[in-house]
Structure 1
Amino acid sequence: MKKILFLSDGKAYLPEIEAYKKVFSEYICVDSRNETNINLCEYDLIWKFMGMDFGKIDRPIIHEYSSASVGMFPKVKNTIKFLLNSKPSVRIFLNEEVRKQFFFNDGVPCFYRDMGIDDIFFQLVDTEKTYDFVYVGEISEKRNINIMLKKFANDLSEYSLLLIGKYETGLYEQYKNCNNIFFAGFIKYEEVPFWACKSKYALNYIPNKYPYYLQTSTKLLEYIALNLKIVTTDYEWVNKFEQERKMQFLKTNLSLNNINDNYLKSFNFKNTDINDLRWRTVIEKSRIKEWIKDNI
C-alpha cells in the first residue's frame, strides 16, 4: 500500500487529519503528531500543514494552508512564507480569501478544501439542557476571552457558561470560583458533542480582526450540526455564511452588550441543513483525492 505522512508541528488543532485518514482509507495514513523518528523517505506522499518548509525531497509533497498567519505581524509572516517556502507539488487552501493572502504565482496547482463536520455532531438531538451557554475553543486572552468571562462573571451572572477547551492558567485562577462559569478543560474530541449539546445557546466568539474574519469557524459548523441556538460576534465570514445558508444568528460584540433575557427569548434563531458539510463530502468535493490517485 502507498503511504501518506501528515506532517505538522503539533500546535494547531487539525480535525481534518482524521477526516483525511477516513476518506483515504485505501492508503496507509500516518499522523506525525503520533510518531517519532520519522524517515520521510519511507512515504510516498508528504502532506505538510504550513508553517515553513525549506526542505526538498524526491517525492510528491502537498503544502496545506488551512489558515492565513496569526499572532504578531501576520501579514509579514504571510510574505515570508511566500518568499522562502520551498515549491511543493500542489497547494491546498481553506478558501479563495486565504489563498489571496500569500501571492503565489509560480504555476503550482491548488485546491480548496473548506472545513467540515464530523458525523458525531449529527447524532445527538433533544438532549436535556444543563447549561445556558457553551463556548468551545481556545480560552486565552489573545482571543479576548477575558472580556467574555468578565461579562459572565458580572452582568450575565444569571446565565451559566460551559467552557470546553484548553485554558490559560491565569484566566482559570481568576474565574474558577464563579458559580456560573464551568471549566471542562481539554476533553477528547469524540466527547465534545455530548457536552456541548447540554447547552441552549452556543457562543461563536471570534474577534473581528485579521485573519479571523476571513476564515471558516469550525466550531460554528459543529454548533449548527448540534442544532444549538447561535450567538455570534459580528464579522465578515459569519455574515456571508448566514446569508448564503438562510440562517439567523443573534449578533453581538466582544462585550456582549446586547445579551439579555428578553432579546434571547424573542429572537428568531434559525439553523438550516448542513449535511453537505460533512467531512467526507467536503473532501470529495475538493477533488484532492483524484490528484493523489494520479500522482502517487
Structure 2
Amino acid sequence: MKIALVHTGKAYLPEVGIYEKYFKSLGYDIEVTSISDELSHYDVLWYFMGKSGKRYNKNQYVIHEYASLSTGRFPILKDFIKKLILPKPDLRIFLNEDLKSRLNFKDNVPFEFRDMGVDDKFFDYNKDNNKNYDIVYVGAIANRSIDVALDLLISYKKNIKILVVGDVSESFKKNYKQVDFIGRVDYSLVPNYILQAKCCLNWIPDIYPYNIQTSTKFIEYFAMGMPIISNKYKWVDEYSKKMNIQYVDVFDKERVINLIDASNSTIYTSKPESWLDILNKLQLEKYFQK
C-alpha cells in the first residue's frame, strides 16, 4: 500500500516527518509529496490542509488533516469558503475540539482528534548545561508581535540576556542589540539551545485562531522540565490546568525577575505525550489496513 503525505502549503509541519517515520516502521510504503506531484498512483492521499484535497481515482482513500485555521485578514470567512469548496474526504483529523467546532462540517465523515506530540529528543537531555542566557524564545516571529514581549522583558531587567531561535528580519534585529538572534536551526539542535537558558518564553497573540491552537514550543519546554514564562490566553490556560502545571505570567514583573534570578529548577509532576504515545493510541492505520 502506497501512502502520500501531501503538503499543501508553506507551513512548517513537524508531524509530516513523524508520520513518515511511524508508518515506515509499520511496513507502509510512504512518501512526502506536494500537490504539484503526480498523485494518481497512491492508495492513500493524506492532505495537510490548506487547499486541494481531491482524489484522483475512485479507489483512493483520502484524509484531510486540519492542524491549524486560516490567519491574516478575514480568517473566519476564509475557513467558511474553504469548507464550501473542498471535496469530501474519507476521514478528517483535527488538532482539537475547538478547531473542529470552528470549521463545523455538516456531514457524517468519520473524524479523529490528533493533538501535537513531543519528539523523543526533548525528553532525553542533560539539564546541567551552562546557562548563557536568562530566557530563550523558540518559534515563529512573523505576525506574533514578539517585540511586545521583548520590550517588556528588557524593561524588567536592563542587563537581561535573551536568545531567539527562529527567522527574524535584519531590520527587526537592529532594534535589539542585547538579544542574540541565531535564526532557524536544525530541529535536532533545538533542545541544546533551550538548555542554554534559565527559562523559556512562550508568546502567542491572544487573538483568533492562534489562541485556540496548541503551542508546540510550550509543550516542548514542558517536556524538558524548563520554567516557562508566557502570556495568558485560552489554550495555554486550559492546557496548564489539565496538566496541573504553572507558568509565570509575562506581565507579572516581580515573578518574572524572581524566576530569572532563582537557582532552583522547576519540578513538574506530569509530562506531555510523545508523538509515539499519540500515534500508538490513535492507530490511524485501522482506517486503511494493508
Q: What TM-score do the two structures reach when normalised by structure 2?
A: 0.90
The equivalent residue for 2:106 is 105
Corresponding residue to 1:128 among 120, 127, 130: 130
Contact kept in structure 2, 1:247 and 1:270, CA below 8 Å: no
Q: Aligned residue for 1:21? A: 20
Quote the offset at 1:125 in angstroms. Answer: 2.4
Q: Calculate the TM-score normalised by the size of structure 1.
A: 0.88
Which deviations, in whole Å up to 9, do the C-alpha atoms of 1:147-178 show, x marking residues without a partner?
22333455433211111111233212332xx1
Q: Which deviates the most, 21-30 or 215-224?
A: 21-30
1:245 maps to 2:246: no
Does residue 1:286 correspond to 2:282, yes or no?
A: yes
- Asked whether 1:232 is paired with 2:233, we answer no
Q: How does 1:1-296 map to 2 (within 5 A)?
A: 2-25=1-24, 26-32=27-33, 38-53=37-52, 55-58=54-57, 59-126=60-127, 127-140=129-142, 142-175=143-176, 178=177, 180-253=178-251, 260-262=256-258, 264-265=260-261, 269-274=266-271, 277-293=273-289
Stretches of structure 2 that go unaligned for 5 or more consecutive residues are none
**Cα RMSD (Å) of the superposition?**
2.2
| Alpha-carbon distance change, 238 to 54 in structure 1, aligned in 2, over 3 angstroms | closer
Q: Distance in 1 between matches of 2:132 and 2:288?
A: 45
Equivalent pairs: percent with the same residue?
34
Cα deviation code 1:13-65 (max 9, x no counterpart): 111111111221111221126xx962101211111111122644221111100
Aligned residues: 284
Please report how far the alpha carbon of residue 224 of structure 1 lies from its aligned counterpart in structure 2 after TM superposition.
1.1
**Distance change (3 Å), C-alpha of 1:268 and 1:119:** closer
Distance 1:227 1:162 in 2: 18
Gaps of 5+ in 1: none
| Amino acid corresponding to residue 128 of structure 1 in structure 2 | N
Q: CA 1:260/1:21 → structure 2, altered by over 3 Å: closer, same or farther?
A: closer
Question: Structure 1 residues 149 and 67, CA, compared in 2 at 3 Å: closer, same or farther?
Answer: same
Instruction: Report Cα offsets for 1:196-255 as digits up to 9, x if no partner.
Output: 1111110010111111121111101111112110111101111111111111111234xx
Letter in 2 for 1:117: V
What secondary structure sits across from 1:163 in the alignment?
Answer: strand
> Structure 2: how far apart are the matches of 1:268 and 1:184?
26
What amino acid does structure 1 have at the position aligned with 2:139? Answer: G
In the alignment, the residues of structure 1 paired with residue 36 and residue 75 of structure 2 have an alpha-carbon distance, to the nearest angstrom, of 31
Partner Cα distance (2:130, 2:88) in 1: 52
Q: Is the 8 A contact 2:154 2:160 kept in 1?
A: no
Distance 2:154 2:14 in 1: 32
